[in-house]
Structure 1
Amino acid sequence: MPAFAGDADDLFQKGMADLEAGRLDTACPALRKSFRFEKRPTTLFHLAECEDRAGRIATAALHYDEYLDLFERLSPPEQQAEGERERKAFKRRETLDGDIPRVTFRLPESAPVGTKVTRVTKQGGDPVPVALGVALPIDPGEHWVMTQPPGGARWEKRFFVQKGDRQTIALSVSSPDDDAKMVRYSRPLEPVPALLPPEEYDNSGRRIATWTAGGIGAAGVVTGIVTGAVAWSQKGVVNSNCRDGLCNTKGESAADLASTMGTVSTIAFPIGLAGLAVAVVLILTEPEQGRLGAAPQRAVIGRAAPAIDVSVSRQGDGFVGATWIW
């Protein structure tokens, strides 16, 4: 990327200076960003070297693999210039293989379809999707694994791995209403039917509310469908650029986009359905217009209008849903 060539070089120089001084917390991010700006094999080799020295050996092995793959695509003169680093990368990659911890994650058979499983390190960062039932290479240290079923609360577990560990972690899943709080409002007083209708019934405010709720509902449903489709379209990119739970730059970007779009879809779609439901209720319960002297068709002396009983479910501090009972 020519526009970022100067930035890439500055970041590379800073990363190398920090690497030589042992400031790994700043060296690795600088080299990683430099490589994103300009895909130079030398930068990738030193990034692998930095992650290796920082003890993140699974990440280092992934970068060594990427470097060796990039080396194969270089021209003969470029390969000659990279020859010494290629030999070091190959030797170090073979040495690391036996030390890399591998963890297998398993969901219970009762887990709902669509349950998301992600992992983050002690340092934080964006959650990484987790493949189930396979031994995944993971950096030594402290980690968190999370599960979240559709509509359910998130379940978290902290775990530690050391060099050479082989672990199997049994995951759990929270039920959709573990943290839900039900608030039931008492039945409202049934209205007493009027003997005569009002002189004029003005339903302009109700119509505005109906159109507003319907518009919000339609927009929410459309947004949910579109963002869901975008999230689904990234699946192939993630599968092509991620292996054993670790992703290259393209895979990370696709996973981030899929996660963001999936979250938007999960939020927008229920809001859209709720908006459409409110619009339908307002339409079905709208009284007939009437004037003095003309009895409304829906009002019958001796029969009360239907009452509405509303049950509201709250998930933490967020609205989950409402049940209308006639």
Structure 2
Amino acid sequence: MILSRLPAPRAIRRARLAVASVVLASAALFAPVGALAQGMSSDPTLAQTLFEEGRRLMEAKAYAEACPKLAESQRLRPGTGTLLNLALCNEALGKTATAWGQFKEALFASKKEGNAAREAFAQEHIGALEPRLSRIVLKAEGTPGLLVRVDGHDIPAAALGTPIPIDPGSHEIEATASGYSVWSTTVQVGESADLKAIAVPKLQPAPPATPAAAPPGPAAGGAGSAGIAAGGSAGGGGGEGLRTAGFVIGGAGAAVLGVGAVFGILAAGQASDAEKDPALCPGKQCTPLGREEIDAAETKALVSTIGIGVGVAALGAGAILVLTSGRSGAEGASAAGARPGAPGRVQARVVPLLWPEGGGVSVVGAF
């Protein structure tokens, strides 16, 4: 009988590494999400810095620069004192309606806190601002599903016909409804006690869309043409199409990942059993039958490594599609034309890593 010395249990190591890569892949995919969430949390140090800088700019009467800093400080760490300073800044900037609303909010907060001095201060400014407030009244004829916006902000249907305080200056009014053409206008509101009435007419039905004629395709290369058509459809399908594709790809990746993990477990078990079986590998010296068992285990381990690599890549691609599906078509087109690494954009991809002894995943991108 010919005996061969059993080499280092590569099949066992490969299978264990393959199964471990599932855990590493999961950590690589979801760790950036946690890091982003942590970065978005409130920062009291930054809030205080912005507050002090905003106060310094207010004292220098640089209100246009001071107000955004105070607003960001209030967003990071809300406080009645910061809110009162922000209201004062907007009042000095001429945003009477914004300041009036912020003083109202500070008044309620001061009452709740039992701070009589701040309550009196807020009430004094509210009384001074109210006679100067300019307002608009939106009146709309009945259009099913009508939605009215002022400067991009939705106006509830219950507010139509009610005078609404608004800052002086130019404002965009827009009315939309599904199946109707968009109506819009611009109104100029005066600085003090102005009242503008805007009549939104009944919207006109939108003209039927004319389907674009499909360009003639070449006689040959049907598969390539179909691929191009499918790509164009996916690109124009909007966020819902991306989200659906992401779930489909991610689901397929999860299935392949599960198959890879099962093959890894089987490989580890088969190699370990062969090594311990005195009839197959006595004293670490394998018989031909034992050698066949080890080879079969190594084959399963290789299938496991490839399956996990492909599954991780598909999961990563699906996750990216789902996370980016919220952007509109216009934003998507803008992102496509932006240079890599532009501020405010997150570009990332998951890259599977395969090597003879295992597998893993890497996340490559710019944040």
Report the TM-score when normalising by structure 2: 0.46
1:15 paired to 2:40: no
Quote the residue 2:144 is aligned against: 112
Output the CA distance in 1 between the equivalents of 2:46 and 2:148: 36
Q: Does 1 or 2 have the higher relative contact order (CA < 8 Å, sep 6+)?
A: 2
Output the CA distance in 2 between the equivalents of 1:14 and 1:219: 40
**How do residues 32-47 of structure 1 correspond to structure 2 at under 5 angstroms?**
32-47=71-86
Q: How far apart are residue 72 of structure 1 and its match?
A: 2.1
Return the match for 1:94 from 111, 115, 127.
127
The structure-2 alpha-carbon separation of the partners of 1:117 and 1:223, relative to structure 1 and needing over 3 Å to count, comes to farther
The structure-2 alpha-carbon separation of the partners of 1:3 and 1:168, relative to structure 1 and needing over 3 Å to count, comes to closer
Output the CA distance in 1 between the equivalents of 2:226 and 2:169: 60
Return 5+ residue gaps in structure 1 as ranges: 121-126, 189-201, 225-260, 268-326
Local SS of the residue matching 1:147: strand
Query: CA RMSD, aligned part only?
Result: 4.1
Contact 1:148 1:174 in 2 (8 A): no
Output the CA distance in 1 between the equivalents of 2:167 and 2:109: 23
Output the CA distance in 1 between the equivalents of 2:93 and 2:41: 31
Quote the residue 1:161 is aligned against: 189
Local SS of the residue matching 2:51: helix
Quote the residue 1:143 is aligned against: 171
User: What is the identity, as a one-letter code, of the residue corresponding to 1:107?
Assistant: A
Output the CA distance in 2 between the equivalents of 1:218 and 1:184: 18
Output the CA distance in 2 between the equivalents of 1:219 and 1:168: 38
Output the CA distance in 2 between the equivalents of 1:264 and 1:38: 31
Report the TM-score when normalising by structure 1: 0.51
Return 5+ residue gaps in structure 2 as ranges: 1-39, 245-324, 332-367
Quote the residue 2:105 is aligned against: 66
Output the CA distance in 2 between the equivalents of 1:185 and 1:215: 18
Q: How far apart are residue 104 of structure 1 and its match?
A: 1.3
Contact 1:145 1:157 in 2 (8 A): yes
**How do residues 1-326 of structure 1 correspond to structure 2 at under 5 angstroms?**
3-74=42-113, 79=115, 83-109=116-142, 111-113=143-145, 115-120=146-151, 127-131=152-156, 132-162=160-190, 163-172=192-201, 173-177=203-207, 182=210, 220=240, 264=328
Quote the residue 2:292 is aligned against: none
User: What is the identity, as a one-letter code, of the residue corresponding to 1:117?
Assistant: V
Aligned identity (percent) is 25
The structure-2 alpha-carbon separation of the partners of 1:68 and 1:209, relative to structure 1 and needing over 3 Å to count, comes to same
Contact 1:149 1:176 in 2 (8 A): no
User: What is the identity, as a one-letter code, of the residue corresponding to 2:71?
Assistant: R
**Structure having the higher Rg:** 2
Contact 2:80 2:109 in 1 (8 A): yes
Output the CA distance in 2 between the equivalents of 1:157 and 1:263: 27
Q: How far apart are residue 59 of structure 1 and its match?
A: 0.7
Q: How far apart are residue 4 of structure 1 and its match?
A: 0.7
143-152 vs 96-105, which moves further: 143-152
Output the CA distance in 2 between the equivalents of 1:153 and 1:263: 23
Quote the residue 2:20 is aligned against: none
Contact 1:148 1:155 in 2 (8 A): yes
The structure-2 alpha-carbon separation of the partners of 1:204 and 1:145, relative to structure 1 and needing over 3 Å to count, comes to closer
Q: How far apart are residue 99 of structure 1 and its match?
A: 1.7
Length, aligned pairs only: 205
Local SS of the residue matching 1:160: strand
CA deviation string 1:163-184 (max 9, x = no partner): 2123321013354129x6x478
The structure-2 alpha-carbon separation of the partners of 1:207 and 1:119, relative to structure 1 and needing over 3 Å to count, comes to closer
